[in-house]
Structure 1
Amino acid sequence: MPKYFEELDGEVRKPCAGLREDLKACLLESDCVRKDKLSPKECLKEGARVDSECRALQFAFFECKRSLLDTRTRFRGRKGC
């Protein structure tokens, strides 16, 4: 379950930091990392061993990072962040 928060006690955070933390927590709790003893990076590369929740978080994180490069976001704001 995502635990994303925009700000914590007035602390300034990097863009997409909440999604990154959620993705990291999801990967560390997955069977691929726990049982198979693979790194989270290796689990993402293989893909078949990662839960659908982690895949959704990975896609959301990708979209958030991509929106940082999109010049239209100056007017519209970042997607999903």
Structure 2
Amino acid sequence: MVLKYTEEEAELEDHSPCATLKAELKMCVLETDCCKIEKKTPRECLRSYNVPQDCIALRNAFFECKRSFLDNRQRFRGRKMLF
């Protein structure tokens, strides 16, 4: 996941449906003390719940976005917008 910075705004190279949630989750976890000070990986921080509630909410939203691809009802109704 790479962010491209232009003069006007930052845009993602990845244009998949859940890419924005993934990028927000990544930035949220990387800004925590768990990653910065304790030098743990983002995965370790998320598994130990050593992150703020905002990051946990983003993780749940990302999970629901990915899960919506497997739900056959969502194929007809469209993806649920969580944000």
What stretches of structure 2 of length at least 5 have no aligned partner?
A: 1-9
Residue 5 of structure 1 is matched in structure 2 by none
> Per the alignment, do residues 30 and 12 of structure 1 end up closer, same or farther by CA in structure 2, a change over 3 Å counting?
closer
Unaligned runs of 5+ in 1: 1-7
Counterparts of 1:4-43 in structure 2, within 5 Å, are 13-43=15-45
Q: CA deviation at 1:23?
A: 0.2
Identify if the C-alpha distance between structure 1 residues 14 and 42 changes in structure 2 by more than 3 Å, giving closer, same or farther: same
> CA-to-partner distance for each residue in 1:3-53, whole Å, 9 max, x for gaps?
xxxxx88x7711200000000000000111011110000001111x11000
Whole-Å separation in 1 of the counterparts to 2:36 and 2:79: 33
Moved over 3 A (4+): none
Q: Compare the two structures and name the one with the higher helix fraction.
A: 1
Q: Percent identity?
A: 53
Q: How many residues align?
A: 72
Structure having the larger proportion of residues in strand: 2
From 34, 46, 49, the equivalent of 2:48 is 46
**Aligned partners of 2:25, 2:44: CA distance in 1, in Å?**
14
Following superposition, the deviation at residue 80 of structure 1 comes to 2.2
Query: In angstroms, what is the RMSD of aligned CA positions?
Result: 2.0
So what's the TM-score if we normalise by structure 2? 0.78
